[in-house]
Structure 1
Amino acid sequence: MHLSGAVLLLTFLVPPAWALDAYGTARAHDPSADVPPFMIFLTIALSCVGYHVAVQIPAGLLGTRLGRNRGAGTAYACVLAVTVALTSALTWAVLRTDDPALLLSVWADFMARGSLAMAAYVWLSRRLTT
Structure 2
Amino acid sequence: MHLSGALLALTFLVPPAWALDAYGAAPAGDPTADVPPFMIFLAALLACVTFHVMVQIPSGLLGSWLGRNRGALVSYAFALTVAGTLTLAFLWGVLRVGNIAELTDLWVDFMARGSLALAGYVGLTSLWARPSRPA
Contact 1:63 1:76 in 2 (8 A): yes
Percentage of matched positions with identical amino acids: 64
Superposed displacement of residue 52, structure 1: 0.3
TM-score normalised by the chain length of structure 2: 0.92
Partner SS state of residue 24, structure 2: helix
Aligned counterpart, 1:114: 114
Q: Radius of gyration: which is bigger?
A: 2
Superposed displacement of residue 98, structure 1: 2.6
Q: Determine the C-alpha separation between the residues in 1 that align with 2:97 and 2:126.
A: 39
Gaps of 5+ in 1: none
Counting helix residues as a fraction of each chain, which structure ranks higher? 1
- The letter for the 2-side match of 1:77 is A
The number of residues matched between the two structures is 130
- The letter for the 2-side match of 1:3 is L
CA 1:26–1:2 in structure 2 vs 1: closer, same or farther (change >3 Å)?
A: farther
Q: Determine the C-alpha separation between the residues in 2 that align with 1:36 and 1:128.
A: 44
Structure 1 residue ranges, 4+ long, deviating more than 4 angstroms after superposition? none
Contact 2:91 2:97 in 1 (8 A): no
Gaps of 5+ in 2: 131-135
Q: Determine the C-alpha separation between the residues in 1 that align with 2:38 and 2:93.
A: 25
TM-score normalised by the chain length of structure 1: 0.95
* Alignment RMSD: 1.1
